[in-house]
Amino acid sequence: MIDLLLRAANILSPVENAVNYTHAQDILIEGNRISAVLPTGQADPAQARQVIDAGGMIALPGLINTHCHTAMVLFRGLADDVSVDRWFNEFIWPFESNLTPEDVYWGTLLGLAEMIEAGVTTVADHYFYMDEVARAIDQAGTRGLLAWAVFSAGVPEPEKKLNETLEWIERWQGSADGRITTWLGPHAPYTCSEEFLNTVSATARRAKVGIHIHVSETQAQVEMSLKQHGRTPIALLRDAGVFESPTLLAHAAHPTPDDIQIMVKAEAGVAHCPKTYLKLASGVMNVVEVRNAGVNIGIGTDGAASNSSYDILEQTRLAALMQKHQHVNAQALPINDALHMMMTGGAKALRMPDLGAIAAGKLADVILLRTDSARMQPLINPAANVLYSAQAGDVDTVICNGKVLLQERQLLTLDKQAIVREVQSRLHRLSQRIPGQRIQTYPT
């Protein structure tokens, strides 16, 4: 028995180092996995519990957001057009001192609603009150690689906090039908001491989990590290043993040649979030060079307080456009490479090899893009249209782990109106900046 049959989809999915477009395929889903992909007509719709007509639509593997602080939609529009240091010290860290667990729950639900509407089925989320984030992921039906952010700077007993996150890791690991994976989340080398990073690394090895951490987001961070530690932030992570566990590096936007070799050797994943770098004017990674060296890069959004949206199609487009611009070469990061990075790159960065492709045996995370908006026509080169023209509004259907989360653009698992009402009721309190009160201090 087929649980879900997607009929006559045109599939865009990675094959080795390219993406391949195949016309009129039936995608068969049994349980939470794709059981077969067949030319349409070979599967019997009468044998399926549920059938969705995907004729004329483009099926992509569910999009992967490799770095986010989902609940930060609560601060969307509150800290635009400001520098990185002011963004942290004058806006975000003061705001975040107002957060309650329930705020994070409702903010995460709103952010997940936005991701589902944009075709994003998996998010690597790095934030606070992660029990609430896990509850929200469970309810939304998406997939999450979750990490609880911890600091040592200014924290009296950081190991105590780390142990609490370890309990949280055990509480949620593999839950929500396997949709939730839990990792450790030390914030960054400039908010965690080397000693604390050593402790985190040892904890990760013992618990057999990965580490999701911010690093080298700005050139100034690299220079400060060189001055204070005589090493780049990435070298410091290596020395602290971070790379002995699976590692997801948020940004790594300013690597030295040695840093690149460290990342290659560690098989570290990198989350590339170009809209955030442009908005904060913090500089864009040389993706072509780092990727050619063998570092695995996926696409992320970062939080909505910097990015303003959770749209992986927009981010991938920006990634391609910015490489062309920076290399003064229109052939830099061409369509195939950009889409491959979005799909396979994301799956590898999260160490989830069963994601990022539509093929028998893969997890059943599939989205369908409509092609009837004028911007998607004519469909001469579907991969080009997906990269350079498609928008979140073209996402019609979203399936994650075999369950339909969005159909004909309507959310099936979340009550968006109720979520927006709840979020609105919290905004006044959250937007207060109490003098001197903030969760951390960004060094300048």
Residues near its own copies, by CB under 8 A: 73-74, 76-78, 80-84, 87, 110-111, 113-114, 117-118, 275, 277-281, 283-284, 308-311, 318, 321-322, 324-325, 327-332, 334-335, 372-375, 377-382, 384-385, 388-389, 391-394, 416, 420, 423-424, 427, 431
Nearer to its own copies, 105 or 148 (CB): 105
For residue 180, the minimal CB distance to its own copies (Å) is 21
Nearer to its own copies, 242 or 280 (CB): 280
For residue 377, the minimal CB distance to its own copies (Å) is 5
Nearer to its own copies, 76 or 212 (CB): 76
Nearer to its own copies, 2 or 11 (CB): 11
Nearer to its own copies, 78 or 153 (CB): 78
Nearer to its own copies, 161 or 409 (CB): 409
Of residues 76, 71, 349, 73, the one with CA closest to residue 213 = 349
Nearer to its own copies, 18 or 427 (CB): 427
Q: Provide the 10 A C-beta neighbour count for residue 251.
A: 27
**Helix H or strand E segment including 320:** helix 312-327
Q: How far apart are CA 157 and CA 167, in angstroms?
A: 16
Nearer to its own copies, 69 or 238 (CB): 69
Q: How far apart are CA 364 and CA 362, in angstroms?
A: 6
Q: CA Rg, the chain, in Å?
A: 21
**190 φ, ψ to 5°?**
-90, -5
Q: How far apart are CA 75 and CA 54, in angstroms?
A: 36
Q: How far apart are CA 346 and CA 217, in angstroms?
A: 19
Q: Report which residue type is found at 255.
A: P
For residue 304, the minimal CB distance to its own copies (Å) is 8
For residue 150, the minimal CB distance to its own copies (Å) is 27
For residue 61, the minimal CB distance to its own copies (Å) is 21
**56 φ, ψ to 5°?**
80, -5
For residue 110, the minimal CB distance to its own copies (Å) is 6
Q: Please say whether the beta carbons of 441 and 89 come within 8 A.
A: yes
Q: How far is CA 403 from CA 31, 149, 292, 295, 419, in A?
A: 9, 30, 36, 33, 21
Tracing tokens 């469970």 back to the chain, one arrives at 138
Nearer to its own copies, 50 or 424 (CB): 424
Q: Please say whether the beta carbons of 400 and 62 come within 8 A.
A: yes
For residue 103, the minimal CB distance to its own copies (Å) is 12
For residue 426, what are the β-bridge partners? Answer: none
Q: Please say whether the beta carbons of 70 and 423 come within 8 A.
A: no
Of residues 229, 293, 281, 297, the one with CA closest to residue 256 = 293
For residue 285, the minimal CB distance to its own copies (Å) is 13
For residue 339, the minimal CB distance to its own copies (Å) is 12
